[in-house]
Amino acid sequence: MKALLKLGVLAFVFFLVAGIYFILRRPGNTGRNLKLYQFLDDPQGHAGWMMRAEERCGDAPFLFPTDGYIGFLWDDSFRPGHRHQGIDIFGGTEGGKTPVFAAYDGYLTRRQDWKSTVIIRIPDDPLQPGRQIWTYYTHMADPDGASFISPVFPPGTEEVSVKAGTLLGMQGNYSGSPGNPTGVHLHFSIVQDDGRGSYQNELEIKNTLDPTAYFGLPLNSHQNEGVIPLCQ
């Protein structure tokens, strides 16, 4: 019995160390993780690390959707087998305090069962004219799923025209499982069209696009080796 217990403890330690190594194996991951902890510990003291809502970097087509520090990038890894499909923007406030805005003109949908999420159809990709894409915004609810989405967009909203800069809601920390919160932030991703006029599954990175060129920021984890993404 003791031998089995010892074996179990060793296996746990091995997988824990392996998981940490996997997450931090790239220099950029390590630097960003450390900076994120520093920011969350003292947001006001690190205000210079934050992007600002509705800020545009140069001639990039998208406005930045919210105030905050970009803690995780597209294709970051949190655990073995996981690839992050978008960017996570941490406002450094409590849930329901930091506004979220549309990054580009389009048509907003909120499915009946979406407590914290909206998606906006962009019929004409500004970087590839003629291609349809979708922008996805989530975690806009409290830990139990009480929504922070603007009441202008109730559940069941379909194809409502919105302009860049339209208020969508507030940053929150709903994970999809009541009582199991994330940190307060906005998750934003650019989702590809399925070719039939709808969006593909945002949970798979192959269905999303690198947001770097859309914001004019270094948002690809393979290319960003620890640089804080800010307008140059």
Domains along the sequence of the chain with CATH: 2-215 (2.70.70.10)
Q: What is the pLDDT of residue 11?
A: 45
Buried b or exposed e, range 172-197, using 16+ CB within 10 angstroms: bbbbeeeeebbebbbbbbbbbbeeee
Q: Each residue's pLDDT tens digit in the chain (232 positions)?
A: 555 555 554 444 344 434 443 444 444 466 678 899 999 999 999 999 999 999 999 999 999 999 999 999 999 987 676 789 999 999 999 999 999 999 999 999 999 999 999 999 999 999 999 999 999 999 999 999 999 999 999 999 999 999 999 999 999 999 999 989 999 999 999 999 999 999 999 999 999 999 999 999 999 999 998 899 999 8
Residues in the chain: 232
The DSSP string of 20-41 is HHHHH-SHHHHHHHHHHHHHHH
Q: What is the pLDDT of residue 95?
A: 98
Backbone angles phi, psi at 99, to 5 degrees: -65, 150
In this predicted structure, what is the pLDDT of residue 77? 81
